[in-house]
């Protein structure tokens, strides 16, 4: 089971004629301990947030301190800069196939990829491998396939010389 990262939202704070970075997060012992180790960190009573002077050095320090521990949500801090190009764009599926019997990715899977906010290039990779898997087992119903079928398919790809990266991507669709 993977551990989900905690979330810290960065906010622009203007207090006592100073530009500050506000750290908005749910109370957590680990996060609080790390925050208190930051240089120039103070508790701001007015905003009820920990704050640090705003600047590149402070941002670098925040990202280094919380790397692998917490996700720094910057959507309020950098409102004009998208987190990633293409997020929330509909996934375009202009695909060519050589056969009329070629099975297409189910709409539910596409919706799941959009909901998880995958970048379009990542989504297209997962769709490619999922359709390749579906068409490998074209004589079976999709809902009848199980973990053993997935394992056998991945073994087959490995025997055909697929790279570790390809095997990893091919295993993500289920």
Nearest-angstrom CA–CA distance, 127 and 130: 5
| Residue 36 confidence (pLDDT) | 95
Stated pTM of the model: 0.46
Of 22, 53, 73, at which residue does a domain stop? 73
86/56 same-domain check: no
Tell me, yes or no, whether 1 lies in a domain.
no
The residues that bridge with 19 in the sheet, in sequence order, are: 14
Q: Measuring CA to CA, which residue among 64, 39, 49 is closest to residue 14?
A: 49
Please report, in tens digits, the pLDDT of each residue of the chain (174 residues total). Answer: 445 678 899 988 888 888 899 999 998 899 999 999 999 999 998 889 999 999 889 999 999 999 888 888 887 776 655 444 444 445 555 555 556 777 888 777 777 777 777 777 788 888 888 888 888 888 888 888 888 988 898 899 899 998 888 888 877 765
90/52 same-domain check: no
27/106 same-domain check: no
Residue 59 to residues 26, 51, 69, 70, 75, Cα–Cα distance (Å):
20, 12, 16, 14, 14
- In degrees, rounded to 5, the angle at the alpha carbon of residue 130 between the alpha carbons of residues 149 and 128 is 145
174/91 same-domain check: yes
68/103 same-domain check: no
For residue 141, which phi and psi values (nearest 5 degrees)? -75, 140
User: Three-state SS for 95?
Assistant: coil
125/167 same-domain check: yes
The domain in which residue 91 lies consists of 82-174
């Amino acid at each position: 089971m993977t551990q989900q990262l905690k979330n810290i939202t960065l906010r622009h704070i203007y207090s006592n004629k100073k530009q500050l970075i506000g750290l908005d997060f749910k109370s957590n012992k680990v996060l609080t301990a790390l925050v208190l180790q930051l240089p120039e960190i103070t508790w701001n009573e007015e905003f009820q947030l920990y704050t640090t002077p705003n600047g590149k050095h402070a941002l670098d320090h925040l990202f280094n301190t919380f790397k692998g521990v917490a996700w720094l949500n910057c959507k309020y801090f950098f409102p004009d800069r998208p987190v990633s190009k293409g997020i929330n764009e509909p996934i375009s599926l202009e695909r060519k196939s050589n056969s009329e019997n070629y099975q297409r990715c189910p709409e539910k899977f596409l919706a799941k990829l959009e909901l998880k906010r995958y970048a379009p290039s990542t989504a297209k990779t997962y769709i490619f491998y999922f359709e390749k898997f579906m068409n490998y087992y074209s004589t079976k119903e999709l809902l009848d396939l199980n973990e053993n079928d997935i394992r056998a398919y991945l073994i087959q790809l490995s025997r055909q010389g697929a790279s570790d990266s390809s095997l990893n991507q091919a295993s993500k669709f289920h």
